[in-house]
């Protein structure tokens, strides 16, 4: 039963909803107006609405029907005998006349005598006591209106009333229809544009951009849609970039692993076939050991980089003194640097800078940068390590500099990509080409930034990390 009911329900169009909303609004507005009008009349008549009928203010017994209403309009009532003498006043009399002539009475009842008389009057005759009752109102508080009766007789009046009612109803419906149609066009145009844009996105089209003029709310929806499609496009492009990067990584890794494995296999076959002289056995074993270490290093580095790039992987963070960590790594590399005839200059402030970090992975970044400076600094002899404080950014900055050959501009943007090496050479005895790529992944995992720049004739690798709030 529920399914059948749901099938019978059809969504209403915008036009139908607008039309019904306008009709309901008009009815509510009309009812509110009538209620306000009734409330106003009740206030002025003290609840006696019959006193408004045909301007009757005194009944057949000579009783004033609603004196309070008359007083609220600044008026009063005078009772006159057959000689037009004032015998009684109801309310506060504001004139000095105690008797009127027939001419004065006629003048009082003339509604056009506004200059001579500041009051508007109405008169009733009561047969029971043969007295006249004149009601005075302040002219400034009274509005005149003309009532026109259509038709001749009661039947003609009824026909005219019907014609008037039907005409008003027809105009009202026409007004509702025209206004609803206008609002529908104003609303439906931007909605149609949005629907078309969504259909294009649904069909897989990229770079869908909406450009139409509408009301503020629809323009906000348009801008949000454009922002969404742009981010979808960027996400798709980033995904494609990551896929290409992943494929490239696999190709490069297979290439780098293939060479040492081939050497290991050929050397192992030679040893198995006793083709190696005894005096060279040690050299063959040493080469096999080196190539095996290289394969292990490649696999380990690849695993580390994939682990760092995994969004679900979480570092084991703890508070560390960054200066002390850099000082420790520099001490480990000091002997190797001096042995190769290089000069190491370290400028680390005694004041410590505390950061949230994983000591092992961040230490690997510092080691990679020092190894890189030592390995590719063939034409220079200076290596410099310094730490700076960026207090305005709440960051600490590590700089590793060397005076070796400058990295070419065409390589500067890709130097942190996997398997990119500064000498462009792919040598089996060289590095894995993953050091800087791993360093970048680790630094970004620490919510930091790593980049390369040339500074006063030096190659300068910069690492920026956020400081902790102590």
Same domain, yes or no: 327 and 459: yes
| pLDDT interval class at 355 (50, 70, 90) | very high
407-418 mean pLDDT: 80
Q: Specify the CATH number for the domain of residue 360.
A: 3.30.565.10
Phi first, then psi, for residue 76 (nearest 5°) are: -155, 175
Q: Specify the CATH number for the domain of residue 275.
A: 1.10.287.130
CA nearest to 302, candidates 437, 443, 429, 463: 437
359-377 mean pLDDT: 89
Per-residue pLDDT tens for 192-223?
Answer: 888 888 888 888 787 788 887 877 777 888 88
Q: What is the distance of C-alpha 347 from the center of its chain?
A: 47
| pLDDT interval class at 6 (50, 70, 90) | very low
Domain carrying residue 53: 46-141
Per-residue pLDDT tens for 21-39?
Answer: 777 777 877 777 777 767 6
Check residue 32 and give its pLDDT.
73
249 assigned to some structural domain: yes
Same domain, yes or no: 242 and 341: no
165 assigned to some structural domain: no
78-92 mean pLDDT: 91
Rounded to whole angstroms, how far apart are CA atoms 90 and 68? 10
Rounded to whole angstroms, how far apart are CA atoms 77 and 59? 13
Is the model more confident about 262 or about 163?
262
Same domain, yes or no: 448 and 330: yes
- Given CA atoms 320, 321, 326, 330 in this order, what sign does their dihedral have? negative
Same domain, yes or no: 268 and 291: yes
Same domain, yes or no: 329 and 412: yes
Q: How many CA atoms lie within 13 A of 184 on its CB side?
A: 17
Q: What is the pTM of this model?
A: 0.50
Helix (H, G, I), strand (E, B) or coil at 41: helix
Task: Evaluate if residue 144 carries a pLDDT over 70.
Answer: no
Same domain, yes or no: 116 and 223: no
Rounded to whole angstroms, how far apart are CA atoms 402 and 385? 9
27 assigned to some structural domain: no
Same domain, yes or no: 461 and 329: yes
Check residue 431 and give its pLDDT.
52
Per-residue pLDDT tens for 110-139?
Answer: 766 555 678 888 888 888 888 999 999 887
Same domain, yes or no: 296 and 328: no
Cβ atoms of residues 295 and 260 within 8 Å: yes
Same domain, yes or no: 236 and 319: no
Same domain, yes or no: 243 and 362: no
Residue with tokens 């007083």: 71
Q: Which residues neighbour 367 within 8 Å (Cβ) at sequence distance 6 or greater?
A: 329, 332, 333
Last residue of a domain, one of 96, 114, 141: 141
Query: What is the secondary structure of 286-347 as a DSSP string?
Result: HHHHHHHHHHHHHHHHHHHHHHHH-TT-----EEEEHHHHHHHHHHHHHHHHHHTT-EEEEE
Q: What is the tally of structural domains in the chain?
A: 3
Rounded to whole angstroms, how far apart are CA atoms 125 and 25? 47
Last residue of a domain, one of 313, 334, 352: 313
Per-residue pLDDT tens for 415-470?
Answer: 887 666 544 433 444 455 678 888 898 999 899 999 999 888 889 999 999 998 75
Rounded to whole angstroms, how far apart are CA atoms 92 and 71? 8
- pLDDT above 70 covers what percent of the chain? 82
Cβ atoms of residues 305 and 437 within 8 Å: yes
Task: Evaluate if residue 322 carries a pLDDT over 50.
Answer: yes
Rounded to whole angstroms, how far apart are CA atoms 247 and 244? 5
29 assigned to some structural domain: no
Helix (H, G, I), strand (E, B) or coil at 78: strand
Same domain, yes or no: 347 and 441: yes
421 assigned to some structural domain: yes
Q: Provide the pairing of β-strand 343-347 with 382-390.
A: parallel
Task: Evaluate if residue 63 carries a pLDDT over 60.
Answer: yes
Q: Provide the pairing of β-strand 119-126 with 131-138.
A: antiparallel
Virtual CA dihedral for 268, 274, 277, 280, nearest 10 degrees? Answer: 20
């Amino acid at each position: 039963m529920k399914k059948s009911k749901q099938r019978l329900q059809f969504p209403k169009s915008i036009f139908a909803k607008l039309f019904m909303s306008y009709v309901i609004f008009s009815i509510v507005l009309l009812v509110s107006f009538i209620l306000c009008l009734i409330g106003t009349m009740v206030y002025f008549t003290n609840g006696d609405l019959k006193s408004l009928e045909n301007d009757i203010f005194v009944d057949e017994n000579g009783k004033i029907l609603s004196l309070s209403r008359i007083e609220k309009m600044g008026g009063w009532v005078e009772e006159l005998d057959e000689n037009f003498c004032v015998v009684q006043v109801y309310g506060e009399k504001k004139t000095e006349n105690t008797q009127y002539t027939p001419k004065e009475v006629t003048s009082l009842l003339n509604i056009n005598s506004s200059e001579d008389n500041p009051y508007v009057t109405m008169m009733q005759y009561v047969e029971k006591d043969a007295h006249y009752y004149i009601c005075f109102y302040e002219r400034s508080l009274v509005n005149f209106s003309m009532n026109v009766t259509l038709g001749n007789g009661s039947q003609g009046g009824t026909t005219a009333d019907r014609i008037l009612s039907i005409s008003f109803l027809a105009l009202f419906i026409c007004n509702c229809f025209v206004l609803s149609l206008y609002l529908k066009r104003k609303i439906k145009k931007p909605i149609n544009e949005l629907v078309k844009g969504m259909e294009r996105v649904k069909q897989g089209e990229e770079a869908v951009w909406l450009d139409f003029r509408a009301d503020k709310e629809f323009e906000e929806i348009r801008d949000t849609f454009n922002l969404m499609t742009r981010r979808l496009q960027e996400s798709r492009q980033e995904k494609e970039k990551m896929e290409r990067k992943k494929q490239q990584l696999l190709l490069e890794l297979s290439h780098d692993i293939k060479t040492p494995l081939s050497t290991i296999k050929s050397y192992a076959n030679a040893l198995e076939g006793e083709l190696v002289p005894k005096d060279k056995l040690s050299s063959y074993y040493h080469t096999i050991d080196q190539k095996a270490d290289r394969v292990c290093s490649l696999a380990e580095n690849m695993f580390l980089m994939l682990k760092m790039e995994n969004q679900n992987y979480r570092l084991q963070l703890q508070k560390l003194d960054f200066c002390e960590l850099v000082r420790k790594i520099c001490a480990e590399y000091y002997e190797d640097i001096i042995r190769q005839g290089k000069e190491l200059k370290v400028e680390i402030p005694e004041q410590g800078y505390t950061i949230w970090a994983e000591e092992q992975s961040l230490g690997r970044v510092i080691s990679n940068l020092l190894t890189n400076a030592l390995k590719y600094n063939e034409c220079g002899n200076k290596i410099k390590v310094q730490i700076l404080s960026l207090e305005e950014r709440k960051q600490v900055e590590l700089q590793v500099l060397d005076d070796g050959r400058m990295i070419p501009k065409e390589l500067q943007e890709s130097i942190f990509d996997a398997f990119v090496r500064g000498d462009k050479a792919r040598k089996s005895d060289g590095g894995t080409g993953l050091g800087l790529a791993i360093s970048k992944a680790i630094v970004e995992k620490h919510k930091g930034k790593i980049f390369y720049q040339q500074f006063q004739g030096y190659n300068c690798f910069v690492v920026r990390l956020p400081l902790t709030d102590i």
